Structure 1
Amino acid sequence: MTDGVSRPTLLLVHGAWHGAWCWEKAASVLRADGWRTRAIDLPSAGGPAGVHDDAQAVRGALELMDGPVVVVAHSYGGAPVSQAVAEAENVSRVVYLAAYQLDAGESVLGFHGVPGSSAPGEFEAVPDDPIAMFYGDVPRPEAEEAAKRLVPHSARSFRDVLTRAGWHTVPSAYILCEDDQALPAWSQEVMAARSGVVHRIRSSHSPFLSQPVELAALLARIALQPDA
């Protein structure tokens, strides 16, 4: 097994309505296997921040970490991560987990063909049925507890346009969740085509809760791949 000292650190970035808490199970599995992890909270979750504020939060975390770092972005988190890693020097790879691997000039809303009409300060409420949308294969009691922790998310962050996309210069991998009800597999396919390699798991939108052991093993395997 590779010595933990020579392994990259994993920076875990959550998606919309969520927080760093959602990574706890998968991160625990990774740490038990000798991996160093850090999860951050994005300011757009519960606050009026935009995608560039979130990108600054990601960059701030990276500046405090010794390289190399593998950044794992879930769902909306892919947008600020793509922006952030374009200006980071210690990132060896980005892993998009059912995430928005957007290009410069794109936004989350724009990817779906929706006009960006929301005003700054507005929030997107937690979806009406978050269990069906996010946690379809998570045990019901755990899914209910996760749903209680969701918070309104900044609408501006969905509208903001990326000015840079770091995956053009930083190696990337995409993990496509085949049973995803939040970001359908066909949408993921479009963005996964931008990654250097694509992995598929039969999971809902939240494998960090439904399949933490399997996801941790896959992240470890990706993180140890040569940079290319």
Structure 2
Amino acid sequence: MSAPAVATAAEGATRIILVHGTGHGGWCWYRVATLLRAAGHRVAAPDLAASGADARRLRDAPTFEDYTRPLLDALRGLPGGERAVLVGHSFGGMSVALAAETFPEKVAAAVFVTAFLPDCANPRSHVIEKLALADWMDSVTDAEHVPASVFLGPEFRRRKLYQLSPPEDYTLSQSLARASSYYVADLRCQPPFSEARYGAARKVYVVCGQDRALVEPYQRAMVAGCPVAEVREIAGADHMAMFSAPAELAGHIADVANTYA
């Protein structure tokens, strides 16, 4: 479907929390956050642990829950009865899933933007391990420490993630990208997300047609394995949809917030 304009926030608008992916930080949402705020939406884009401007080092966040703690704390701090629309990009989908599992009563909807979408049948690591990414190019990995880390290399980012994004946003990533982790070993040890909690969350998946990392067939395969309320599409977006199609993405997020809140 075509993206709507950035709809004005409904009265008593639900808070929108934008969750970044691996190696990035809340900074990557600046274009989308600006558009949503201009339309009256209440928006937060936290840095997860050891990401963005968060001062911790990766070794200070040894588990996936440690890494996701800033998002969990944001939900825990919502006033009684208030709910948020969570928007996860890429690996941020895993953090959104954990938040919905932990605080289902505080999640109005969970939006997955070309993101990992775990199911309720397999180990939590399944959707990450199943992705067959053949060429990490100049990315650097370290499996000797806890957690195992990855730094997404500049050529990998340029060719696989940012190929349609403005060059100034790719340049911004050159300055701000950090080593992070996919926490596969930790996630592999956890039970599947539950049908009663995460499984019950209203989910929307945003397919990005020009993603060269989480390619469209894999995005749709995840959706086939985990029922969602609706699928939306941005045909011309690369992996970094917040840069390559910010107005379209903001339009979808605003519409979801007004519909599901």
The TM-score, its normalising length taken from structure 1, stands at: 0.88
Q: Distance in 2 between matches of 1:4 and 1:223?
A: 8
Q: Distance in 2 between matches of 1:3 and 1:56?
A: 28
Q: CA deviation at 1:21?
A: 0.3
Contact kept in structure 2, 1:8 and 1:69, CA below 8 Å: yes
| Residue matched to 1:196 | 229
Contact kept in structure 2, 1:16 and 1:153, CA below 8 Å: yes
Q: How do 1:41-52 and structure 2 match up within 5 A?
A: 41-43=47-49, 45=51, 47-48=58-59, 49=61, 50-52=63-65
What is the aligned length? 224
Q: Does 1:91 align with 2:118?
A: no
- Aligned to 2:168, the other structure's residue is in SS state helix
| Residue matched to 1:56 | 69
Contact kept in structure 1, 2:109 and 2:260, CA below 8 Å: no
Q: Does 1:73 align with 2:73?
A: no
Q: Distance in 2 between matches of 1:26 and 1:2?
A: 14
| Residue matched to 2:45 | 39
Contact kept in structure 1, 2:111 and 2:205, CA below 8 Å: yes
Unaligned runs of 5+ in 2: 1-6, 52-56, 134-141
- Aligned to 2:220, the other structure's residue is in SS state helix
Q: Does 1:111 align with 2:124?
A: no
Q: Does 1:207 align with 2:241?
A: yes
Q: CA deviation at 1:198?
A: 0.6
State the identity as a percent: 27
Moved over 3 A (4+): 1-5
| Residue matched to 1:160 | 186
Contact kept in structure 1, 2:154 and 2:174, CA below 8 Å: no
Q: How do 1:109-188 and structure 2 match up within 5 A?
A: 109-112=128-131, 118=143, 119-129=145-155, 130-155=157-182, 157-161=183-187, 162-163=190-191, 164=193, 166-188=197-219
Unaligned runs of 5+ in 1: none
Aligned-residue RMSD, C-alpha:
2.3
- Aligned to 1:10, the other structure's residue is in SS state strand
| Residue matched to 2:117 | 101
Q: Distance in 1 between matches of 2:65 and 2:92?
A: 11
Q: CA deviation at 1:11?
A: 0.5
